[in-house]
Amino acid sequence: GDVRLWGGRFADGPAEALAKLSASVHFDWRLAPYDIAGSRAHARVLHKAGLLTRDELTRMIVGLDQLEADVADGSFTGTIADEDVHTALERGLLERLGPELGGKLRAGRSRNDQVATLFRMYLRDHSRIIGGLIAELQDALVGLAEAHPEVAMPGRTHLQHAQPVLFAHHVLAHVQSFSRDAERLRQWDERTAVSPYGSGALAGSSLGLDPEAVAADLGFERGSAGNSIDGTASRDFVAEFAFITAMIGVNLSRIAEEIIIWNTKEFSFVTLHDAFSTGSSIMPQKKNPDIAELARGKSGRLIGNLTGLMATLKALPLAYNRDLQEDKEPVFDSCDTLEVLLPAFTGMMATLTVHRERMEELAPAGFSLATDIAEWLVRQGVPFRVAHEVAGECVKECEAQGIELDQLTDAQFAAISEYLTPDVRTVLHVSGALASRNGRGGTAPSAVAVQLAEVKADLLIQ
């Protein structure tokens, strides 16, 4: 029969071209379990309001349970003629309960408040799935840091050698940014725990239904929407979710870029496990960091999902407009993208081999201890402006001679400045430079141990 929800006023069904344009079942079908949960909650408030008898409620719940099972095993699916998941499931219920009882459920609700509620439920579930996957990545990164507690590497700014840092310190820097992403997800989830059910099409319901009861039933800790227009029209929760997932993508892309660089012949800092790298169809020697490259690439897609969504929302008048049907695919894609990317990325990070000798060989290169000369001079009472100048002279001299700082002779040091006594050599090695940066957040092994303990404690509550 005719599945349209608006038969009464229309003499003709929709043109095929309209049906094709309008259909969303192919992407909103994943909301079906949430739609059915919403229908159960709605049936209960209809009963509470005296609009369904006890017996009707019982039969309604049985019908919804049956429909849920049929959706789960694939024996009931939506079609293009259904338009969307909500309409398809209404048809499914009518088929199971008959038009008399099946036709009672739609009272006091609209697809506008339905979809706004279900979409929140879906994204809240996925915020937790993604949060769990981030925690697994953080565990892998913490494991990598713990497995190499004392390894030094060149710390960089502008991709140039800057100062030596602990490899563990560098890895934990990434863990910190993922902690903020995880926190963003938790705070978003808390903010999104408001149910639009009961808002109806935009103005609320005249049937005495209890939106707070529906909210509690569906797990919305903060109750029901305080404004039915906002409840049906607002999508900032979607945009914010898209931002958080894009930020996660961007953070992944930053490690990815480092892995790609570290994995080159020139750097040779890491080797990727065979199971997490790919070969070339023509060049037998190749072993490529495809996971890192895909992470870098997919961050673009995640950003695109955010910007596309923002463009869709811009200047939309209140309340519901059909434009809003465009809100789902981008963030469904963001969920799907991260849910396949994160496990692969975690596997890559958990299994890579670190080449300690290579990192430590390069840690002091590029005159990365010049700052230590300057700070040693300051400790001798030399003003920093002079100390900076003197250390710079040392670098100039080394560059002219093609040597490193610790290869300057006592005489050469003395010729550069009277302050440069042979004692300056005490700071011209990496371990001394690292150990001296022992303030909170610094790269000294003792400070990194504190950071590691804090990060691990955080991960336990996260």
Between residues 96 and 111, which has the closer beta carbon with respect to ligand ARG? 111
Identified binder of ligand ARG from the candidate list 325, 346, 368, 417, rule CB under 6 A:
325
Identified binder of ligand ARG from the candidate list 188, 237, 243, 320, rule CB under 6 A:
320
Closest CA to 443 of 431, 456, 425: 431
Total residues contacting ligand ARG (rule CB under 6 A)?
A: 10
State the binding string over 125-164 for ligand ARG (x if CB under 6 A, else -): ----------------------------------------
To the nearest whole angstrom, how small is the minimum distance from the Cβ of residue 135 to ligand ARG? 31
Rounded CA separation 310/287 (Å) = 39
Q: Which residue out of 47, 205, 277, 280 is catalytically annotated?
A: 280
CB 181 within 8 A of CB 461: no
Identified binder of ligand ARG from the candidate list 38, 92, 112, 195, rule CB under 6 A:
112
158 given a catalytic annotation: yes
Stretch that binds ligand ARG, among 108-116, 243-251, 254-262, 414-422 (CB under 6 A): 108-116
47 given a catalytic annotation: no
Half-sphere exposure of 451 (CA within 13 A, CB side): 26
Between residues 97 and 115, which has the closer beta carbon with respect to ligand ARG? 115
Q: Distance between terminal CA atoms of the chain? A: 51
Q: Which residue out of 158, 205, 277, 299 is catalytically annotated?
A: 158
CB 87 within 8 A of CB 116: no
Contacts of ligand ARG in 5-34 (CB under 6 A) = 24, 28
Alpha-carbon distance values, 148 to 39, 54, 169, 170, 257 (Å)? 54, 65, 10, 11, 21
- Helix (H) / strand (E) element for 156: namely strand 152-157
Rounded CA separation 436/157 (Å) = 20
290-312 burial, b if ≥16 CB within 10 A, otherwise e?
Answer: bbbbbbbebbeebbbbbebbeeb
- Does 35 sit near ligand ARG (CB under 6 A)? no
Rounded CA separation 213/133 (Å) = 32
To the nearest whole angstrom, how small is the minimum distance from the Cβ of residue 160 to ligand ARG? 51
To the nearest whole angstrom, how small is the minimum distance from the Cβ of residue 200 to ligand ARG? 11
To the nearest whole angstrom, how small is the minimum distance from the Cβ of residue 371 to ligand ARG? 57
Rounded CA separation 360/354 (Å) = 11
Identified binder of ligand ARG from the candidate list 324, 335, 338, 455, rule CB under 6 A:
324
Between residues 139 and 326, which has the closer beta carbon with respect to ligand ARG? 326
Stretch that binds ligand ARG, among 89-97, 169-177, 277-285, 321-329 (CB under 6 A): 321-329
Q: Is the preceding peptide bond at 319 cis, omega within 30 degrees of 0?
A: yes
Closest CA to 190 of 132, 130, 251, 128: 128
Between residues 124 and 161, which has the closer beta carbon with respect to ligand ARG? 124
Catalytic residues: 158, 280
Residue numbers of the site for ligand ARG (CB under 6 A)? 24, 28, 84, 111-112, 115, 320, 322, 324-325
